[in-house]
Structure 1
Amino acid sequence: MKAVLEQDYASIKKKNKFLHNVKRDKWLYALLLLPFAYILIFKYAPIYGVVMAFQDYNIFAGIQGSEWVGLDVFEFIFQQDSFYRALKNTLLLNVYDLIAGFPAPIILAILLNEVRMAKFKKITQTVLYLPHFLSWVIIGGMVYLMFSNSGMVNTFLANLGLARIEFLSQKVPWLMTYISVGVWQHIGWGTIIYLAAMTGINKELYEASDIDGCSRLRKVWHITLPGIKSTINILLILQIGRMVSIGFDQPFVMGNSLVSDYSDVISTFVYRVGISSGDFSQATAVGLFQSVVGLILLIGANYIAKKLGEDGIW
């Protein structure tokens, strides 16, 4: 009886504490209403539309009036060679982006963290962050002006007496251009996260290392990198979870028929069969496939990280 009363008392105390916190910080909780409403309306409410993946969806009949076909849509998709090509290209581009793009902001953040001139550091950060806020339509125009056959780079090579490089029409040069432009566009934004993580490192560790006569490289290896290891683990797990997902803008803007063997990815496949052809059942099925595989990869990467003794997402 005493244990039950103590449990009830603890429950009431916890509830009163929660109500007290809400009353004390009511305006802060009020600020959460807008993002909560956004997530509810645009993230959770559309989940109802997933049922279209199991229907022969008719836009005029709607979800309620469309015929149920079970897994026929998935069977039809998995029989298409174009789907496997898009899946292969998605994985290929994401793996290359992981190899080239994941370490880049870490290295850049470490270099910026070592800069002692505050003004130069601020200017450099601003210049590096700017590409993240540019539309891919603008970036695509810049890429064409720079790397087309008559662009600035090829004109410069021609003036040096060197052969022109087909950056945008040959497969391997296009792939290298695609990855490089993607790294350039995202590297500044990723650097913000790592620089923020570095601010949490105890400054006394650096002071102690100075007394011990450690070089900058040793301080980076033994203090900075271990200090941001948890952030690196979390971002790596999240990126692995996105291996079967890829943005629509970059491959659509930079891709063309000459390099479609590399540029045709799942997002452009969904656009082609779902929007252009009006087959919303196929588009929904591919999106559901991406979500399920992405969830499996995310859970698997988190499980492996925990088994290796590293920090995971949960």
Structure 2
Amino acid sequence: MDYIKKNYFLYLLIAPAVILTIIFKYVPMYGAIIAFKDFSPMKGITGSDWVGLKHFKDFLTSPNFVPIFMNTIKLSLFGLILGFPVPIILALMLNQLRRAAIKKNIQLVLYAPNFISVVVIVGMTFIFLSPNGPINHIVTSITGEPIMFMSDPGYFRTVYILSGIWQAAGWSSIIYVAALANVDPELHNAATIDGANLLQRILHIDLPTLKPLMAITLILGAGGIMAIGFEKAYLMQTAMNLPTSEIIPTYVYKQGLQAGDYAYSSAIGLFDSVINVILLVVVNVVVKKLNEGEGLY
């Protein structure tokens, strides 16, 4: 108590963030109870009949479960595997630039896509990959016929993942660039005197510096495998690519807001969250064993 009284201003400083977190993150958890009820807006949450795990069983035994679940896993897992090393590589490359003006201009170009809205990104994707777009203009000149990127289910994941990497990789590299800026230049100078080349200095100086950040980023990324964004997948959906584009978040939206089955959609969303928590714990344990005890917690 003496410490709190002495540093009360620090607690006042974080109080707004704590209050907002409680209001917008913890209080809404009460609504998750409708996943276990036959929810009716007229009866309300407390007045609706309790059905237990019925909605969970309906989803797990539904013919839609396996394809939707696998689509979600594949889209997130491939996105994590392909997207995880890109910001690290960008940061290592930026760290080698010595002219500040050139480095700032390149960073501006790399960071800019992050500030483009998802709607605009998807619109650009449809324009560039349309049958009459610039990409298909090149394809047609070579093969004689265009590729239906946005309607062929086989191309959906590739387009989704690559466009996401292009948008987020530059911004994600900021934390790695900041970490590399704290590396003592004397380490590189000493390594150079000892005959180490650029690759050796990166492997033995830069990468060990980034190792804790890489572990945390990997854990958070793996823990959010099921928490894939809804907006982009939904906007990129067409009637033709649904076999690979229908994922849990878009299915929850359609069942809850379009079909009005709030209890069923809440059960699916809660199932999704539970899987995320399990993945977060498992990946953290694995990373701690492989990273000499260093993990997220």
TM-score normalised over the length of structure 1: 0.90
Deviations 1:72-104 (A, max 9, x none): 111111121113221110001011101211111
State how many pairs are aligned: 296
Aligned-partner SS, 1:164: coil
Separation in 1 of the partners of 2:276 and 2:41?
Answer: 28
1:226 to 208, 212, 216: 208
The residue aligned with 1:256 is 238
Separation in 2 of the partners of 1:55 and 1:312?
Answer: 38
Deviation of 1:297 (Å)? 0.9
Separation in 1 of the partners of 2:229 and 2:114?
Answer: 14
Does structure 2 conserve the Cα–Cα contact (< 8 Å) formed by 1:230 and 1:310?
Answer: no
Look up the equivalent residue of 1:170 and give its one-letter code. D
Separation in 2 of the partners of 1:160 and 1:53?
Answer: 53
The residue aligned with 1:109 is 91
Does structure 2 conserve the Cα–Cα contact (< 8 Å) formed by 1:233 and 1:310?
Answer: no
C-alpha RMSD of matched pairs (Å): 1.5
The residue aligned with 2:2 is 16
Look up the equivalent residue of 1:99 and give its one-letter code. I
Does structure 1 conserve the Cα–Cα contact (< 8 Å) formed by 2:95 and 2:181?
Answer: no
Does structure 1 conserve the Cα–Cα contact (< 8 Å) formed by 2:187 and 2:205?
Answer: yes
Deviates more, 1:223-232 or 1:245-254: 245-254
Deviation of 1:125 (Å)? 1.0
1:200 to 182, 194, 200: 182
Separation in 2 of the partners of 1:281 and 1:52?
Answer: 5
Deviation of 1:161 (Å)? 6.3
Deviation of 1:159 (Å)? 4.4
1:164 to 142, 146, 151: 146
Aligned-partner SS, 1:258: coil
The residue aligned with 1:312 is 295
User: What fraction of aligned residue pairs are identical, expressed as a percent?
Assistant: 39
Separation in 1 of the partners of 2:277 and 2:198?
Answer: 40
Structure 1 residue ranges without an equivalent (≥5): 1-14
Look up the equivalent residue of 1:129 and give its one-letter code. Y
1:1-314 matches, within 5 Å, as 15-22=1-8, 26=9, 29-159=11-141, 162-308=144-290, 309-314=292-297
Structure 2 residue ranges without an equivalent (≥5): none
TM-score normalised over the length of structure 2: 0.95
Does structure 2 conserve the Cα–Cα contact (< 8 Å) formed by 1:56 and 1:281?
Answer: yes
Aligned-partner SS, 1:240: helix
Larger gyration radius, structure 1 or structure 2: 1
